[in-house]
Amino acid sequence: MTHLPQTPGPIGIFDSGYGGLTILHGIRQVLPEYDYLYLGDNARAPYGPRSFDVVYEFTRQAVLKLFEMGCHLVILGCNTASAKALRSIQQNDLPQWDGGRRVLGVIRPTAEVIGSLTKKRHIGILATEGTIKSRSYELEIHKLYPDIQVTGVACPFWVPLVEYHEADSPGADYFVKKRIDEVMRKDPEIDALVLGCTHYPLLMPKIVKYLPAGVRIVPQGEYVADSLSRYLQRHTDLDERCSRGASVRYLTTENPDTFKLQAQTFLHEEVEVEHIEF
């Protein structure tokens, strides 16, 4: 049994990089009173192309670090980590570490609401290669809505477009249009498109530009936030172990100055960042 702090602590948000900042932003809009601890494993990003075993081990290290720093609840604000590591951590690691702590992902909350967002029962998923290959969205959606047809397409260049500040460039149009055309060609009946990577909302102007009329875009931030709010209402014992000081602390395994620069792209505000090692 790992000895972990038992006093109330912040809600942990983990991502392999910067995209989880969009999840953090959405959660803070709904639950501003809580303390948050954001950890970006930027030195080892991206996770998308990595194997299941590697993503699991990296995510496991990060979650344990957040627990050691006082978190009782950790949100994997990363679709790849949610797809490749969440279930193993929940089933194998939590019982050994501390049965009272929780780790949640970003895929289930989106799956829960998708049934109310599609009339034709045909949806598309745009995500990283790792998330698409895992079929996690398809599996979660079919648990709840077996009648919905799910079509996924990997978008390998979308994350670099955001992180290299090319999201607004003319060159981004080619890559965005290509993947939207591909998913709509695979299933022209799609009427809801899930952005299954936390970076993708920063490409929203381009996505809107090339998406056919009548197709609804489903970003994750607001749905994850609403789901978390309901979760804490149901689990009052866990809620009491989440401290409330309206603070946010940012940690990165990379250079803090680099993180600060990227964070402005996602949050539109300056943040203080600390370097951390596992």
Residue 168: closest CA among 204, 198, 195: 204
Whether the Cβ atoms of residue 59 and residue 81 lie closer than 8 Å to each other: yes
Q: State the catalytic residue, choosing from 71, 155, 197, 242.
A: 197
Which region holds residue 135: left if phi is over 0, alpha if psi is between -120 and 50, else beta?
left
Q: State the catalytic residue, choosing from 71, 78, 155, 242.
A: 78
155 is catalytic: no
Residue 140: closest CA among 119, 123, 120: 123
- CA-CA-CA-CA dihedral for 232, 237, 243, 248, to nearest 10: -40
Q: How far apart are CA 245 and CA 127, in angstroms?
A: 34
242 is catalytic: no
Residue 252: closest CA among 237, 274, 224: 274
Within its chain, how far is the Cα of 37 from the centroid? 15
Positions marked active-site: 78, 197
